[in-house]
Structure 1
Amino acid sequence: MIRLVIAIASLLALLLPGSVSADPADVAASARGVVRVVIVGSDGEESFPISHGSGFAISANRIVTNSHVIEEARNDETLRIAIIPSEGDEVSSARILAVSPRNDLALLELTGGLRLPRLTIAGGAGQDSGEVSAIGYPMNVDRAQGLDIGDVLKSQPPVKSRGFLSGARPSRQFDTILHTAPIARGNSGGPLVDSCGRVLGVNSFGADSNGSDAEFFFAISMRELLPFLRENGVQPAVNSLPCRSLADLDDEERQRLAREQEQARAAMSARTSEARDKRERARLEAEMAVMEEREDIMALCAVLLLIGFGAALFAWSARQKAMSVDDYAEDDDDAAALGWFTNERLFAIAALIAAAAFVAALALWFSRPGLAEIDRRVDAAMRDGEAPDTTGQQNPIAGTYLCSIDVARSRITGAQSEDLTLEWSADGCVNSRTQYGFAKGEWNRVFVPNDEDAVSVNSFDPQSGTYRSERYLLSRSQMARARRERGGYTAPGCETPDAAASLGEKQEAVLGLLPGRPNERLVYKCELRR
C-alpha cells in the first residue's frame, strides 16, 4: 500500500506543471564535493576504519556532516577522522570545528592539502514538491559490491538516488524535509540536492516501518543549516533563484530570437510599405511638376516663336523699304541715304531680335524636363528626410560597456553574480590585458584555472552588446585533460599580430573536451558608457 502511494505521488510530481527533472550533469557536478567521512582507529601498529558516513564541502576545506557520524571520534581522542574524496588518491584528515547535537549537524575542517569543490545552497522559501537526489555512501551498496571495511579508505564515486519531496515538517525538535530519495546507513551527512545540484538539506535518518527498509527519509533543512554555518563563521554560497533547466532556457532563447526576427520582418515590411507609399506620392508630385514645367516651357517657346516670326516679318518689311528708297529716291541723294540707313538699321535690329527669339525658343525646347527627370526627382524625394545611419554609433566595436546580469536568460546554479565593466577594443582585447580569440564568427576566451575544477568560456558580441559566461563543472580526470591541453599553448598578449585568430585556433583543443552543455550560463546585457 505504501509503495502504491509513493508511486502515485511520484507520477503526480512528474505531471505537475513546472516540475523540473534532475539534470544528471548538475547532480554529478555536486557529487564532486561529496566525501566519505571515516572514523579511523589504531591498535598502535595499523590504522583501521571503524565506521563511516557522508559529508559535503561547504568551502574548499570545510565539510558539513551529521553530528552522529563523528560522535565516536568526538568522545574518544584515540580515534581520528579521515576524509575520502570521490576522485583521486588523496586521503585527508579532518578536525572538528563545531558540533550541534540538537539538530544533528557538525562542521569539519581539513588539515591536509586537499581542496574540494564547494556545493551551493538553495536559499529562499523551502520547497514542498519536486524531484530531488540524495548523494552519499550507503553501506548496503558497499556490501552488495563485496567491499569490506578496508575498502572505504579508497576513493569511490558516491551513490546518487532520486526521489521527490514530500513536504517540510519538524522532527526530533528541529526542522526537517521529508522525501523519498532512498538513503541507508552511510548516507548520513550527505546532501539532498535539487534539480540544479543545489543543497536543500542534510540527510540524517529514515522513517521506521516495523523493521523493513524505510520508505520515507528525513533531511535537515536549510532553516537549521544556514544559522549553524553562520554562527561558526562560514559564509556559504547561497542561490535563491528558481531552478531552471538549460533545455527550457534554450527553448526560450529560440522563442526570443523568433520574436525578434518576426518584429524585424514586421518593421521591415512597415518600412517597405511606408517607402512604397512615399515613392508613389513622390512620383505623382514629380509627374505633375514635370508636366507643368514642360507645358510652361512649351508655351514660352510658342511666345518666343511668335516674337521671332513678328521680328522676322518686320525685318523683311524694313529691308523692302530700304530697297525702295534706294530705287526711287534718286532725285534727293541726302533723303535717300537717310531713308536707306534708317530702314537698314531697323532691319538689323529686327533680324537680331528674330534670331535671338528663335535661338531661345530652340534652347528652351531642348532643355525642357523629360520623363527621366521624374525618376530623378522621386529618388531625391526618397533620400530627403532619411535618418543617418547610426549603427556604428549605437554598437561601436570599441568602448567601455556596463554589463548587467540578465536573470531571465541566465542559469545561475552557483552564487549570484554581480554586474561587471567591460573595456572592449576593436582587436578583442578586454580591459587592456586579456586577449579574446576569434573563431567561427565569435569572440571568446577559455579559462582553465588550476585552483578550481571548472572551465569557463566567456564570449562577447559587440554588435548586440551581449556578454556570456558558461561554466563547465568537470571531474578531476576531465580537468586534468583540459589543463594538459591548456598547457600546450601560450595565450598571446594584447596587440600581438594576429592574436585573435591565433588564440581562436588554439582554444579549439580545450573546447573539444567540454560536454555538450554547461552547468551554468550567465548572460549579461551590456550598454555603452556615455
Structure 2
Amino acid sequence: MVLFLRALALLLIAPLAFVAAPAAADPGDIDAAARGVVRVVLVGDSGGELVPVSHGSGFAVSPTRIVTNAHVIREALQDDTLRIGVVPSEGEGGTFARVVAVSPRNDLALIEIAKGTLRLPPLTLAGGVNRDLGEVSAVGYPMNVDLAQGLDIADIFRAQPPVKSRGYLSGERPSRQFDTILHTAPIARGNSGGPLLDPCGRVLGVNSFGTDAGGSDAEFYFAVSLRELLPFLRDNGVEPVTNALPCRSIEELNTEERQRMVAQQTEARERLATRTARLGEVRETARLKAQMEVLEARENAMALALIALLVAVGSGATAAQWRREPATVKRAGLAAGVAGAALITALLLWLTRPGLAEIEDRVAAAIAEADGTGAAGGNDARPSLAADGTLICSFLPERSRVTAARTDDVELDWRADGCVNGRTQYGLLAGGAWNRVLVLEDEAAVAVNSYDPETRTFRTDRYLLGQSAMATAIEARAQYTPAACGVSEAARTLGEQQSALAALLPDRPNERLVYSCKEKARAGA
C-alpha cells in the first residue's frame, strides 16, 4: 500500500516537471501583498495578563476587515474568556477584532477591527486560477518557524514580517465539503487563514490544511478557492478588489516597449526611405523638365531681345537719315520713337529672361506639390499631436501591468507649460519627459505620473511600499513645496525638487498603467 501511495505521488508530481514554467513570482509584489497579512491570535487572561492561546493567519480584504479560517477562531466562539487579537506585519502592534461572519462548512471567517485602531492595505483577489499550473506563494505565520526562532509570548504580540514560501499549483480539487486548490507551497500550523498568491501577489485562495505525509511521500496543501471566498465576502457586505488581467512582469512590458519603439523607428525609416525614393524620382523628372523649359524660355527671350535690338538699331539709323531731309523730318520722329521702344523692349526681354536658379525653384515647387504639405513636410510625415486642451485618456491593458489599481479613464487638461487641470504643475526632466511624483498616504503607495505630449501617452508607475519605506517617502516629500502653475521656471524647478524623492523608489514599480489620450469631444460637436 505504501509503495502504491508513493508511486501515485510521483505520478502527480511528474507532470509538473514538464510544464513550461511561467515567470517566477515577483518578490516586490509578494512583499506588497504581505503588508496586508496579519497574525490572528486567540488571547486569554492569566492572572490579569494577556497570553496567546493559539494563532493563525489572515489577510485584509478592506482596510478594517480580515479573512481567516473558521477553525482559527473556533475556540473564541465557544469561550467568552478568549478574545481575537490581530497583529499586523509592520507597525507598532496590534488590536482586537470582532467576528462578522463564520462559515464552518467551507472553513471561512470574516473578522473586523475597530475603525481608527488600525488600517490595512487590502489584498487584491485574482480573477481565477491560472490554468498553466504556475508558481504560487503562501504567506503567513507558521508556528514551527516561531519555535525554531525561540520566540516568547511577547514576540507573538509584536509586529513581524510574515513567512513566504513558494510552490506550484497542482490543480483545483473539491474536498467533501467545499472547493479547494491543491498546491505545493509549504504551510504549517499557524499558516491557516493566510493567502495563497499568484506571481503578481493576487489572492488565489485561503490556505486551510495539508495532507498527512509519511516517510518520503510528497506533501500537498489545500487552499479554499475563490469560488467559495467571493460569495462569502459578498454575502457579508464586502466587495473585494478583483483583477482578472494577465500577470505580466515589468521586464516583459519593458521588453515589449523597446520592441514597439524599434518597430516604430523601423517603420519610420522605411516610410522615410519610400518617401525619399519617391521624391527622388519626382526631383529628377522635375529637374529635366525645368531645365528644358527654362533653357528654352531663356533662348526665346534672348532671341526676341536681339530682334528688338536690331529693330532699335535699324529704326535709329533710319531716323538719323530722315532727319537730314526736310521732307522726311516728321517721319524721323516716328522712327526715333520706334527705335526707343524697341530698345526698351530688348532691355526688358534681356533682364526678365529666366535665370538658371529658376530650375531649382521649379524643382522645389514640383516636390512640394508631390509631397502635399510643402518641401519640408510630407504626407507620410506624422504631425505632432502635442497641443493644449482637455483630453480623455483610455486604459491600454496590453501595455500595462495592474495588480490592484483602478483603470478608469483619466481626464487630463494639459497645457504646453506642463500645467495639468489648471493647478498641478508637472516637472520637466532631461529628454523632454513631463512627470509628477505623488505620495499617496491612504494607499501606502507612491505614484509617478508622466505624460508625453508628442504621442499623447499618459502613464502611471505605482510603487506599493511598506511602512518604513513609506515614512521615508513622506519625509522626502515634506522637504519641498511644488512649484505652482504659471511661475517662472516652474517645470525645471519641480523636476529638480522631485529627484531626491524619485531616487528613494525601488528599481521597478509594482504596477504600470498606460493610457492613450484623445481630445475630449465638445458639447454640440
TM-score by length of 2: 0.90
CA distance in 1, matches of 2:347, 2:422: 71
Once the 2 structures are TM-superposed, how far is the Cα of residue 145 of structure 1 from its aligned partner? Answer: 1.4
- Structure with bigger gyration radius: 1
Correspondence for 2:507 = 516
Correspondence for 1:195 = 199
Once the 2 structures are TM-superposed, how far is the Cα of residue 374 of structure 1 from its aligned partner? Answer: 1.2
Correspondence for 2:311 = 307
Residue 440 of structure 2 aligns to a residue in which SS? coil
Correspondence for 1:58 = 61
Give the alignment of 1:178-193 within 5 angstroms: 178-193=182-197
Correspondence for 2:268 = 264
Contact 2:58/2:66 (<8 A) preserved: yes
Give the counterpart of 1:376 among 361, 375, 386.
361
Higher mean alpha-carbon deviation, 381-390 vs 243-252, is at 381-390
Higher mean alpha-carbon deviation, 443-452 vs 387-396, is at 387-396
Give the counterpart of 2:329 among 320, 328, 344.
344
Give the counterpart letter for 2:496 in structure 1: E
Correspondence for 2:403 = 413
Q: Does 1:177 align with 2:161?
A: no
Give the alignment of 1:197-212 within 5 angstroms: 197-210=201-214
Once the 2 structures are TM-superposed, how far is the Cα of residue 359 of structure 1 from its aligned partner? Answer: 4.6
Give the counterpart letter for 1:12 in structure 2: F
Q: Structure 1 residues 455 and 317 mapped into 2: Cα distance closer, same or farther (>3 Å)?
A: closer
Once the 2 structures are TM-superposed, how far is the Cα of residue 173 of structure 1 from its aligned partner? Answer: 1.7
Give the counterpart of 2:282 among 278, 283, 288.
278
CA distance in 1, matches of 2:284, 2:517: 41
CA distance in 2, matches of 1:203, 1:505: 47
Q: Structure 1 residues 497 and 6 mapped into 2: Cα distance closer, same or farther (>3 Å)?
A: farther
Correspondence for 1:224 = 228
Give the counterpart of 1:11 among 4, 11, 17.
17
Residue 132 of structure 1 aligns to a residue in which SS? strand
Higher mean alpha-carbon deviation, 376-385 vs 476-485, is at 376-385
Once the 2 structures are TM-superposed, how far is the Cα of residue 304 of structure 1 from its aligned partner? Answer: 2.7
Higher mean alpha-carbon deviation, 29-38 vs 108-117, is at 108-117
CA distance in 2, matches of 1:498, 1:375: 45
Q: Structure 1 residues 155 and 125 mapped into 2: Cα distance closer, same or farther (>3 Å)?
A: closer
Residue 138 of structure 2 aligns to a residue in which SS? strand
Give the counterpart letter for 1:168 in structure 2: E
Give the counterpart of 2:45 among 42, 45, 49.
42
CA distance in 1, matches of 2:271, 2:181: 53
CA distance in 2, matches of 1:357, 1:508: 79
Contact 2:386/2:456 (<8 A) preserved: no
**Residues 478-516 of structure 1: CA distance to partner in whole angstroms, max 9, x if unpaired?**
111111111222223333443322222221121111000
Contact 1:128/1:166 (<8 A) preserved: no
Give the counterpart of 1:103 among 99, 102, 106.
106
Q: Structure 1 residues 274 and 435 mapped into 2: Cα distance closer, same or farther (>3 Å)?
A: same
CA distance in 1, matches of 2:272, 2:406: 39
Correspondence for 1:114 = 118
Once the 2 structures are TM-superposed, how far is the Cα of residue 425 of structure 1 from its aligned partner? Answer: 2.1
Residue 505 of structure 2 aligns to a residue in which SS? coil
Give the counterpart of 2:393 among 403, 408, 411.
403
Higher mean alpha-carbon deviation, 225-234 vs 42-51, is at 42-51
Q: Does 1:428 align with 2:418?
A: yes
**Residues 105-153 of structure 1: CA distance to partner in whole angstroms, max 9, x if unpaired?**
0001012611111100001466351110000111111122122454222
CA distance in 1, matches of 2:76, 2:257: 52
**Identical counterparts, % of pairs:** 56
Give the counterpart letter for 1:422 in structure 2: L
Contact 2:36/2:120 (<8 A) preserved: yes
Give the counterpart of 1:439 among 420, 429, 442.
429
CA distance in 1, matches of 2:67, 2:351: 98
Contact 2:97/2:111 (<8 A) preserved: yes
CA distance in 1, matches of 2:499, 2:306: 81
CA distance in 2, matches of 1:483, 1:353: 96
Correspondence for 1:367 = 352
Contact 2:129/2:204 (<8 A) preserved: no
Q: Structure 1 residues 344 and 126 mapped into 2: Cα distance closer, same or farther (>3 Å)?
A: closer
Correspondence for 2:3 = none
CA distance in 1, matches of 2:52, 2:357: 100
Once the 2 structures are TM-superposed, how far is the Cα of residue 10 of structure 1 from its aligned partner? Answer: 4.6
Contact 1:53/1:186 (<8 A) preserved: yes
Contact 1:170/1:176 (<8 A) preserved: yes
Q: Structure 1 residues 10 and 152 mapped into 2: Cα distance closer, same or farther (>3 Å)?
A: farther
Contact 1:66/1:106 (<8 A) preserved: yes
CA distance in 1, matches of 2:356, 2:481: 67
Q: Does 1:142 align with 2:174?
A: no
CA distance in 1, matches of 2:491, 2:484: 10
**Residues 295-351 of structure 1: CA distance to partner in whole angstroms, max 9, x if unpaired?**
3223323433453455356456646xx5xxxxxxxxxxxxxxxxx422333344334
Give the counterpart letter for 1:46 in structure 2: E
Residue 302 of structure 2 aligns to a residue in which SS? helix
Correspondence for 1:333 = none
TM-score by length of 1: 0.89
Contact 1:138/1:187 (<8 A) preserved: yes
**Residues 15-57 of structure 1: CA distance to partner in whole angstroms, max 9, x if unpaired?**
34xx221101101111111111111111241111111111001
**Residues 183-203 of structure 1: CA distance to partner in whole angstroms, max 9, x if unpaired?**
111111000000000000000
Residue 451 of structure 1 aligns to a residue in which SS? helix
